[in-house]
Amino acid sequence: MADSLSDAKTAYDAGDYEQAVKLYTPLAKKGNAEAQYNLGVMYRAGRGVPQDYKEARKWYRLAAEQGNALAQFNLGWMYASGKGVPQDYVQSHMWFNIAIANADSEARKEFMVDRDSMAKSMTAHQIAKAQELAKKCIAKKFKGC
């Protein structure tokens, strides 16, 4: 499996997006969070596949439920922008908070900037609700959030 993931990354980096999709898809279907995240990226951008935000959301969610911080952040972005989901700042803030709690220190700083920027459009009540939802989601190990 590791070779397939490596081959998929190599194809993606070379711009052979169709080959990358072919290699990532079986890995993603078997539950590989990195492959799921990468398929989400590809569907969001329309690389090797038609752009499809709902399909991107599906793959991001599967990876997010396994603790992939980048997928969690991207779900937050999707809810903030209303791409593939109804725009929902509470859900966005929740996913940003989860990603921040789960990310390495470098990514955490970047994620906080985006979360705090979006939070300027929210009420204090909405932010508190998002924080409560994030705590519950983390306690459930990201399942069913």
* 8-51 pLDDT per residue, tens: 999 999 999 999 999 999 999 999 999 999 999 999 999 999 99
How does 5-26 read in b/e, with b if 16+ C-beta sit within 10 Å? beebbebbeeeebebbbebbbe
Residues of the chain with CATH 1.25.40: 1-66
| Each residue's pLDDT tens digit, 98-137 | 999 999 988 999 999 999 999 999 999 999 999 999 999 9
- Distance, in Å, from the CA atom of 138 to the CA atom of 145, rounded to the nearest integer, reads 9
Is the pTM higher than 0.75? The answer reads yes
- pLDDT of 1: 53
Report whether 103 contacts 81 (CB < 8 A).
no
**pLDDT category of residue 3 using cuts at 50, 70 and 90:** confident
Q: What would the CATH number be for the domain defined by 1-66?
A: 1.25.40
Q: Where on the phi/psi map is residue 113: left (φ > 0), alpha (ψ -120 to 50), or beta? A: alpha
